């Protein structure tokens, strides 16, 4: 599942997202979303966090109207075992991209994966990461990049070519769009990836998973699928 960048008009905003159904007969993972007041996003994240929940998209839009957020998460029917963490805010500035890279790399050494990223009202990067209590030994390598909307598909393709799966995507036109690629340490086998202007690929290539959804006024729509 991946939430799209928002589209705003004078009377408000809306978000789109893309997903794949579970292969039969699996039925124990559900997709959930929430849209709310930007001022409450931190409290709302904490309120929804649980051992059987993984946030996989977060979009903060503090400048739109009174300020809004949208979040998307997967929730299992099992007891879980996922360890939610809001990583330290990464301040805006010339070194922000390098600090995003450093934080994602640190998470990887701690058997954690960054699953959501956005920018807050001050331009600080907000990262959410998860560990799995059933595996605290696997080390992940991370590669992150911050690009304009026009560079998103190329960046995703480059990361996949190096063996990274796109674990988090988010941003905006002012601050740029962050892509977080992570992979098991040493696993550099290239991953097939395809960008599609619509979700016809969901039926044409059922073993691909949507990892990025970009819907920008003036830029068009791109759904990036990775195998």
Lowest mean pLDDT among 13-17, 209-213, 222-226: 222-226
Please state, as a whole number, how many other Cβ atoms lie within 10 Å of the Cβ of residue 113. Answer: 21
User: Residue 207's pLDDT is what?
Assistant: 60
Q: Which carries the bigger pLDDT value, residue 87 or residue 190? A: 87
pLDDT band at 27 (very low <50, low <70, confident <90, very high): low
Other C-beta atoms lying within 10 Å of the C-beta of residue 83: 16
Burial of 151 (0-12, 13-18, 19+ CB in 10 A): middle
What was the pLDDT predicted at 194? 75
Q: Using the predicted structure, report yes or no on whether residue 203 has a pLDDT greater than 60.
A: no
Report d(CA 146, CA 88) in Å as an integer.
18
Tens digit of pLDDT for each residue in 131-156? 999 999 999 999 999 999 888 888 98
Angstrom distance (rounded) from CA 61 to CA 71 = 11
Please tell me whether the overall predicted TM-score, pTM, comes out greater than 0.85 for this model.
Answer: yes
- If you average pLDDT over every residue of the chain, what do you get? 84
Output the pLDDT for position 213: 74
Q: Cα dist. 157→19, 121, 167, 178 in Å?
A: 19, 29, 13, 14
Check whether 199 has a pLDDT greater than 50. Answer: no
Tokens 């905006």 sit on residue: 172
């Amino acid at each position: 599942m991946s939430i799209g960048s928002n589209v705003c008009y004078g009377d408000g905003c809306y978000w789109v997202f893309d997903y794949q159904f579970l292969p039969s007969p699996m039925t124990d993972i559900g997709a959930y979303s929430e849209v709310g007041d930007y001022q409450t996003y931190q409290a709302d994240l904490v309120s929804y966090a649980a051992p059987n929940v993984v946030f996989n998209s977060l979009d903060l839009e503090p400048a739109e109207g009174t300020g809004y957020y949208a979040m998307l998460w997967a929730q299992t029917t099992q007891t879980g075992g996922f360890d939610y963490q809001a990583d330290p805010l990464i301040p805006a500035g010339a070194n922000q991209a390098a600090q995003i890279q450093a934080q994602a790399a640190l998470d990887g050494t701690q058997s954690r994966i960054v699953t959501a990223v956005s920018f807050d009202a001050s331009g600080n990067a907000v990262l959410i990461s998860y560990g799995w209590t059933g595996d605290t030994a696997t080390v992940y390598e991370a590669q992150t990049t911050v690009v304009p909307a026009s560079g998103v598909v190329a960046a995703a393709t480059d990361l996949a070519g190096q063996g990274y799966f796109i674990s988090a995507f988010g941003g905006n036109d002012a601050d740029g769009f962050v892509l977080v690629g992570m992979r098991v340490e040493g696993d550099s086998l290239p991953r097939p990836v395809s960008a599609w202007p619509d979700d016809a690929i969901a039926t044409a290539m059922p073993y691909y998973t949507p990892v990025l959804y970009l819907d920008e006024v003036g830029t068009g729509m791109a759904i990036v699928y990775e195998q």
